[in-house]
Amino acid sequence: MSNHLPIFLFGLLWSAALVGADDAGRKIYADRCASCHGAQGQGVRDKYSDPLVGDRSLASLTRYISKQMPDDKPGECTGDDAAHVAEFIYAAFYSPEAQLRSNPPRVELARLTIGQYRNTIADLIGSFGGVSKADERHGIQAEYFNDKRGFDGKKRVLDRIEPIINVRFDDSKPVEQMDKSEWAIRWSGAVTAPQTGDYDFNLETVNGARLWVNDKDVPLIDAWVRSGDDSRHIATIRLLAGRTYFIKVEAAKEKKETVVAVALKWKPPHQAEQFIPEQMLSPGGGSQWLVLGTPFPPDDNILGYERGASVSKAWDDATTQAAFEVAGYVTNHLQQLAGVRADAADAESRKRAVAFCRRFAERAFRRPLSDEVARMYIDQHLGGDVPILPGIKRIVVQVLKSPRFLYNGLENDPNDPYVVASRLSYDLWDSMPDQQLTDAANGKRLSTREAIAKEVDRMMADGRTRTKMREFYHRWLKLDELRGLSKPSGQFPGYDENLVSDLRISLDMFLDDVTWSEPSDFRQLMQSSNLFLNGRLAQFYGAKLPADAPFQSVALPDQGRSGVLTHPLLMAGFAYSATTSPIHRGVFVSRNLLGRRLRAPPDSITPDSPELNPDLTTRERIGKQTRKPNCMTCHDMINPLGFTMEHFDAVGRMRHDEGGKPIDSSGSYRRMDGDVVQFKDAHDLASFLVVSTEAQGAFVERVFKNVVKEPILAYGPTERDRLLHYFVDHAFSIRALLAEISISSALAPPAPPKVAKP
Amino acid sequence: MNRPSSRRQFLKDIGGTAATLPFLLNLPSLGFANGAARKQRLIVMFSPNGVVQNTFWPDTEGKDFAFKQSLSPLEPYKAKTLVLKGVCNKIKGDGDGHMRGMGCLLTGIELFPGNIQGGSDTPAGWSRGISIDQEITRYLQGHPETRTRFGSLEFGVQVSERADTWTRMSYAGPNLPLAPISNPYQMLQKLYGQREDQAMLASVLDEVQEDFTKIRAKVSSEDAHLLDQHATFVRDAEKEMKEFSQTKSDHPTPKLEAGVKNDTEHMPKLSRMQIDLLIDSFQSDAARVATLQYTQSVGGAKMTWLGVNEGHHTLSHEPDEKKEVQEQLTRINTWYCAELAYLVKRLSETKEPGTNQTLLDNTVVIWTNELGKGNSHTRDNIPFVLVGNGLDFTMGRSVFYPMVPHNRLLMSLAHAFGNQLTTFGNPTFCSDGVLNRLT
């Protein structure tokens, strides 16, 4: 990439300009601060090792220095001294602008992340067939056969759509025409995976039965031979989020069996075992995807999004294993994928094999093959009398071991339509371009904003975009890190694994609903007073629904609910087993909603047990434990934010008192510009968040990083503000923001960041 | 349960350590790493539908017995043969005679109740216990000096695609039947597929490195750093792969005749291919235990190459008085015995690597059946014909037992491997201990 060079030069020029800056501040810093913080604020080991960078305003920094610094003699650097040194620190290395100057971000070459790799493989193989058009209906096709352990179409007596797979017949027949003592049932259709991970399928039956998932040939569970009393048959399969998989169950009643009972349940990642819900089933449209089983070492996630910025031996090795896994799949499905028989040796088959391999490499490399590349990767391995099957296998392995497949950004010509196509598809789908996008690139139709916007509009409707947004939300809301969710059993009757599982569904439904409904309004995320509840949740959270009610949006005007801010899943997750945790809640609001930086606590501190001071409320106890000045540097921000949610207990239920004392949910926040805002409760905080440019900007930046997987500053110092204005101008539409991010990042390769002078 | 998907099998083979180990280490060693200790081995060969008693059993006990027609192919190996008459499968309970004959043959324990209905008997499911071949495998795999890559291999010849109680005799545990591999090409792939992958990978990595050089020229120096790092890993992997291929044994990959169809007509050829692969797998020490299952219980192979044009199972139901049918059945069993003799011949011709012995000196083959006699479905006098010196039994004899439970024989096999079981299968049938008069 060549565009880093001007940035670098610009940085040098600017450094030179610094020389004449505030000399008084520089001298104070050198004399009094540098011994602990380092000459360039880089930190000093065994003194203060963190670099001096942050997001406080100059005023706030000045105030902090005059109160707290130097660490051993606070109060010795006040007034003008504090102001001068703060100005120097702020301009030289502390402020975001200074950070940008000292370490100019650029768009780096990146390999595919694990998620991108898995999606790309699934779509690459899927592009050769086996993928059906989704069926919009819900439920599953059920067919009943008057046949002895068989499924002869002529003996079918009943055909209908059932909501879930769960039947029981005690000495009874499903339909009158069923007169034999031996009969059979088949359910078939598709199942959609709500998230990526391992799913435990449980085929519960007292009869013989088998289950196929994502493989039309080999059953996942084969309990066709009933043996013993075990009626639970469990097998695990990895599924990728948002995709729709072929599913089929067959069961049969044998002569001497009096009861027929078949149920299909699953346990999705992080959830309790449950019937596969009706919304996740459809009576047709199931596809067969290649879902890689090869384990990869985790990606770097240190910046809050997965990056492919580094390689390791373990990763290289995983790419080898994965390449062989794919090659094995290809050779096992050769007829279906390439129209070539495994044992074929004739010239026509060879021609088809070469054609398949060329398409495979083109799609994997996401651009047409040059003659040289085609020769190197394909022609020489399938020419002459090289056996076809081993030739194809070798080509697949070589293509998947190639940097041309493993990296995005090897080509950086801004006018290259294939670069644009790849950017769009990885931005929105974390996967390779589909045929339509590739066609647009082939036809050089991706050079204007309008043309790209049209593609983006189409791509936004794809399930993969929804999946990507969902994964973004999960990361933003820390859903995989909610350690407070498990509570000792019996602590809160009714709060159990099933309830938590329902809460995850409830939150996902809310996020999907806000994002993909027409306004797609960010403010709704923060301010909605509705919760998605089913019967079980309604009972626990004080809403009126029948016990077996399905999920629905329920208005709870009297509970003071405010979108994700008070969603019971987060309230329970940011809590201890019996008490709330205003600190966890406050840290979440500071970092994830307001985008503030917080250092890790200087010492690892165990929270005081409530039993030590049974008369204190949680709020009082925390105030007491964090009152020391060195705690308050951060806790003066954290605590008053976290306290606003005190109306929601450790499982997220509304409460008015704690141990007889009324809840005090008042709080405050000192904005980056130094002004202090007061809140009387979480609802008040939410009203602030939706108008706060800090929170809006933090959201914009987080969406950007998760979509593009690059720092926003690499796209120029004004890109964040530009997108923020766009967001505000478009009524805080999340979808409009998402579209604009992908259009502009695909259209305009990052401009060199321009650094404004302080 | 064994699932034939080779992609899943691949993942199973590379196991859970895959993320941390280089690809190389997950590939099989074909060397003989297990030291100089004696390599004891066991082969269980199965053929179905009982035998014709009067053309099978020798008339007399002891050393000076004579083979009848069914066993005549073993004549050259008479000194290494031990014929056990009067050993019975006494397991009762759910399932028809063939099902219990098969499912309890190597497990010595009852079947679970289930939904597999045979004749008028109560339906049944899988066996309640591990089979003796797997118990011995478990024991051998538990000790580093006897551990091999696969432990055991389950060969089949024309075994039905159906998975049910009639088609499975090996069990890794209760309700865990093992599917034999009937396709020799699939077995070859299992044994040697990954070795071919190694050779291919080395060549792939070589070309990928070449491409790295071309691609590197396109990117900035900062980005080139990442590619360089990556290229180093690729280079290291190729180097390791090459070093490994130099140290690995010179045991060649066996060649199979191409394009042999997996159908009854080709059963004689398939049988020889499977036996040759079995010998090869012992030679390379990929396993110490093997089963070789011809068809399945109730197997109905039409052995037209013997001039027999009716299915084996149908014939086996015909009464003793039908002489010409009994003669055909004898011909069928003689054919099976000839396959056994071929297996034994190969064992006796193959050097035990690193010694002056042959594989037969360290191996016992047991030929058995789910029934004693087809038309009565009796599980008394089940054929147990042992060949080879691997278990240090006193060979070259015919022994008659007073209808003893076969559990005792199964225990004896384990004991001969040093696995001192006090019971195996249903303990009721084990009270008299291991079978006497074997040594």
**Which residues from A are below 8 Å from B107, CB to CB?**
none
What the block records as the tokens of A365 is 């490399």
**Which residues from B are below 8 Å from A219, CB to CB?**
3
Amino acid letter for position B103? G
DSSP state of A603: S
Q: Which residue of A has its CA nearest to B196?
A: A390
Question: Quick one: CATH architecture of A140-282?
Answer: Alpha-Beta Complex (3.90)
The pLDDT of residue A650 is above 90: yes
* pLDDT per position as a tens digit, A243-299: 999 999 999 999 889 999 999 999 999 899 999 999 999 999 999 999 999 999 989
Q: In terms of Cα–Cα distance, which of B251, B382, B354, B337 is closest to B38?
A: B354
**What superfamily would CATH give domain A4-102?**
Cytochrome c-like domain (1.10.760.10)
Strand B41-46 versus strand B363-368 pairing type:
parallel
Which of the listed residues B234, B261, B288 is the one where a domain comes to its end? B261
CA contacts within 13 A on the Cβ side of A429: 28
DSSP letters spanning A474-487: HHHTTGGG-GGG--
Spatial contact of A374 and A381, defined as CB atoms under 8 Å apart: no
Q: What is the C-alpha to C-alpha distance for residues A440 and A434, in angstroms, rounded to an integer?
A: 10
Contact B211 A328 (CB under 8 A): no
Question: What's the rounded mean pLDDT across residues B314-343?
Answer: 97
Residue A602, pLDDT score: 67
In this structure, are B241 and B268 located in the same domain? Answer: no
Burial of A534 (0-12, 13-18, 19+ CB in 10 A): buried
What the block records as the tokens of B427 is 């303990």
Q: In terms of Cα–Cα distance, which of A474, A475, A113, A426 is closest to A299?
A: A113
DSSP letters spanning B348-368: HHSBPTTSSSBGGGGEEEEEE
Contact B115 A225 (CB under 8 A): yes
Amino acid letter for position A250? E
Name beta bridge partners: A210. Answer: A222, A250
A 253-312 near B (Cβ less than 8 A): 254-257, 293-297, 309-312
In this structure, are B166 and B218 located in the same domain? Answer: no
* pLDDT per position as a tens digit, A666-706: 999 999 888 999 999 999 999 999 999 999 999 999 999 99
Question: What's the rounded mean pLDDT across residues B280-295?
Answer: 96
Contact A390 B210 (CB under 8 A): no
Contact A314 B218 (CB under 8 A): no
Please check whether residue B220 touches A, CB under 8 A: yes
In this structure, are B248 and B361 located in the same domain? Answer: no
**Which residues from B are below 8 Å from A230, CB to CB?**
175
3-class DSSP state for residue A540? helix
In this structure, are B242 and B205 located in the same domain? Answer: yes
Spatial contact of B136 and B42, defined as CB atoms under 8 Å apart: yes
Q: What is the C-alpha to C-alpha distance for residues B156 and B262, in angstroms, rounded to an integer?
A: 11
Spatial contact of B179 and B154, defined as CB atoms under 8 Å apart: yes
In this structure, are B203 and B157 located in the same domain? Answer: no
Q: What is the C-alpha to C-alpha distance for residues B418 and B380, in angstroms, rounded to an integer?
A: 28
The pLDDT of residue B246 is above 90: no
Percent of the residues in chain A that have a pLDDT greater than 90, as a whole number: 68
A 207-246 near B (Cβ less than 8 A): 207-208, 215, 217-219, 222, 224-230
Lowest mean pLDDT among A426-440, B229-243, B370-384: B229-243
Q: In terms of Cα–Cα distance, which of A610, A631, A630 is closest to A621?
A: A610
Q: What is the C-alpha to C-alpha distance for residues B175 and A227, in angstroms, rounded to an integer?
A: 7
Q: What is the C-alpha to C-alpha distance for residues A116 and A119, in angstroms, rounded to an integer?
A: 5
In this structure, are B374 and B422 located in the same domain? Answer: yes
Spatial contact of A251 and A208, defined as CB atoms under 8 Å apart: yes
Spell out the domain ranges in chain A: 4-102, 111-129+294-408, 140-282, 474-691
Q: What is the C-alpha to C-alpha distance for residues A326 and A291, in angstroms, rounded to an integer?
A: 9
Name beta bridge partners: A253. Answer: A183
Question: If you count residue pairs, one on A and one on B, with CB atoms under 8 Å apart, how many are there?
Answer: 166
Q: Where are the beta strands (DSSP E) in B128-279?
A: 151-157
Residue A24, pLDDT score: 86
Q: Chain B: nearest CA to A391, how far in angstroms?
A: 10
Q: What is the C-alpha to C-alpha distance for residues B33 and A110, in angstroms, rounded to an integer?
A: 43
Give which of A316, A381, A382 to mutate to test B binding, by max B Cβ within 10 Å. Answer: A316
**Which residues from B are below 8 Å from A328, CB to CB?**
6-7, 10
Is residue B73 reached through a cis peptide bond, with omega within 30 degrees of 0 on the bond before it? Answer: no
Lowest mean pLDDT among A303-317, A558-572, A577-591, B104-118: A303-317
In this structure, are B216 and B271 located in the same domain? Answer: no
What the block records as the tokens of A662 is 């009324």
Q: What is the C-alpha to C-alpha distance for residues B231 and B237, in angstroms, rounded to an integer?
A: 10
Spatial contact of B49 and B298, defined as CB atoms under 8 Å apart: yes
Residue A622, pLDDT score: 93
Residues 6+ apart with CB under 8 A from A340: A334, A349, A352, A353, A356, A388, A392
Contact A324 B10 (CB under 8 A): yes
* pLDDT per position as a tens digit, A342-381: 888 899 999 999 999 999 999 999 999 999 999 999 999 9
Pairwise pLDDT comparison (B161 vs B65), residue with the higher score: B65
Q: Where are the beta strands (DSSP E) in B218-353?
A: 287-294
Helix, strand, coil abundance in chain A, percent, nearest 5: 45, 15, 40
Residue A753, pLDDT score: 38
Which of the listed residues B261, B293, B319 is the one where a domain comes to its end? B261
Question: What's the rounded mean pLDDT across residues A398-421?
Answer: 91
B250 belongs to a structural domain: yes
**Which residues from B are below 8 Å from A398, CB to CB?**
204, 207-208
B24 belongs to a structural domain: no
Q: What is the C-alpha to C-alpha distance for residues B85 and A569, in angstroms, rounded to an integer?
A: 71
Please give the C-alpha separations between residue B213 and each of A117, A381, B208, B232, in angstroms, as whole numbers.
Answer: 23, 21, 9, 12
What the block records as the tokens of A636 is 């003066």
Name beta bridge partners: A249. Answer: A187, A211
Q: What is the C-alpha to C-alpha distance for residues B273 and B266, in angstroms, rounded to an integer?
A: 11
Total domains present in chain B: 2
The rounded Cα A479 to chain-centroid distance in angstroms is 9
Which of the listed residues B261, B287, B302 is the one where a domain comes to its end? B261
Lowest mean pLDDT among A117-131, A402-416, B101-115, B176-190: A402-416
Q: In terms of Cα–Cα distance, which of A706, A756, A402, A698 is closest to A526?
A: A698
Contact B115 A208 (CB under 8 A): yes
Spatial contact of A437 and A419, defined as CB atoms under 8 Å apart: no
Q: Chain A: nearest CA to B434, how far in angstroms?
A: 29
Q: What is the C-alpha to C-alpha distance for residues A206 and A709, in angstroms, rounded to an integer?
A: 50
Give the model's confidence band at A749: pLDDT under 50 very low, under 70 low, under 90 confident, else very high.
low
> At how many degrees (to 10) do helices B267-283 and B323-349 cross?
30
Q: In terms of Cα–Cα distance, which of B233, B173, B96 is closest to B425?
A: B173
In this structure, are B276 and B333 located in the same domain? Answer: yes
B22 belongs to a structural domain: no
Q: What is the C-alpha to C-alpha distance for residues A164 and A279, in angstroms, rounded to an integer?
A: 9
Contact A255 B233 (CB under 8 A): no
In this structure, are B309 and B160 located in the same domain? Answer: yes
The alpha helices in A110-198, defined as continuous H runs, are 114-126
Q: What is the C-alpha to C-alpha distance for residues A521 and A731, in angstroms, rounded to an integer?
A: 7
Model ipTM? 0.83
Q: Chain A: nearest CA to B244, how far in angstroms?
A: 16
Other beta carbons within 10 angstroms of residue A112's beta carbon come to 22
3-class DSSP state for residue A113? coil
Contact A256 B236 (CB under 8 A): no
Q: What is the C-alpha to C-alpha distance for residues A401 and A99, in angstroms, rounded to an integer?
A: 37
B 156-215 near A (Cβ less than 8 A): 163-165, 174-175, 196-197, 200-201, 203-205, 207-208, 210-212, 215
Cα angle: B139, vertex B144, B145; to 5 degrees: 90
3-class DSSP state for residue A495? coil
Contact A1 B223 (CB under 8 A): yes
Backbone torsions φ then ψ of A256, nearest 5 degrees: -85, 0
Other beta carbons within 10 angstroms of residue A569's beta carbon come to 24
B30 belongs to a structural domain: no
Contact B230 A208 (CB under 8 A): no
Q: What CATH number corresponds to the domain at position B370?
A: 3.40.720
Q: What is the C-alpha to C-alpha distance for residues A482 and A78, in angstroms, rounded to an integer?
A: 42
In this structure, are B72 and B203 located in the same domain? Answer: no
Other beta carbons within 10 angstroms of residue B159's beta carbon come to 22
Which residue do the tokens 């949910």 mark? A665
Point out the residue among B19, B212, B233 whose CB comes nearest to the CB of A311: B233
Q: What is the C-alpha to C-alpha distance for residues A431 and A368, in angstroms, rounded to an integer?
A: 17
Percent of the residues in chain B that have a pLDDT greater than 70, as a whole number: 90
Which residue do the tokens 């405010």 mark? A562
In this structure, are B89 and B223 located in the same domain? Answer: no
Residue B243, pLDDT score: 74
Please check whether residue B436 touches A, CB under 8 A: no
Give the model's confidence band at A78: pLDDT under 50 very low, under 70 low, under 90 confident, else very high.
confident
* pLDDT per position as a tens digit, B44-61: 999 999 999 999 999 999
In this structure, are B212 and B73 located in the same domain? Answer: no
> At how many degrees (to 10) do helices A417-429 and A449-460 cross?
30
Whether pTM > 0.95 for this model: the answer is no
Q: What is the C-alpha to C-alpha distance for residues A671 and A500, in angstroms, rounded to an integer?
A: 35
Task: Examine domains A4-102 and A140-282 and report if their fold is the same.
Answer: no
* pLDDT per position as a tens digit, B196-210: 888 899 899 999 999
Point out the residue among A255, A256, A321 whose CB comes nearest to the CB of B18: A321
Q: In terms of Cα–Cα distance, which of B21, B24, B15 is closest to B195?
A: B24
Q: Say how many residues make up chain B.
A: 439
Q: Which residue of A has its CA nearest to B209?
A: A402
Q: Chain B: nearest CA to A237, how far in angstroms?
A: 11
B 226-265 near A (Cβ less than 8 A): 226-227, 229-230, 233-234, 236-237, 259
Please check whether residue A346 touches B, CB under 8 A: no
Please check whether residue A403 touches B, CB under 8 A: yes
Please check whether residue B11 touches A, CB under 8 A: yes
Helix/strand/coil (H/E/C) assignment for every residue in B99-145: HHHHHCCCCCCCEEEEEECCCCCCCEEEECCCCHHHHHHHHHHCCCC
**Which residues from B are below 8 Å from A321, CB to CB?**
14, 18, 23, 26
What the block records as the tokens of B146 is 């006897």
The pLDDT of residue A303 is above 80: no
Which residue do the tokens 């916007």 mark? A453
| Counts of helices then strands in chain A (DSSP H, E) | 29, 20
Spatial contact of B209 and B235, defined as CB atoms under 8 Å apart: yes
Range of the domain at B389: 36-183+263-430
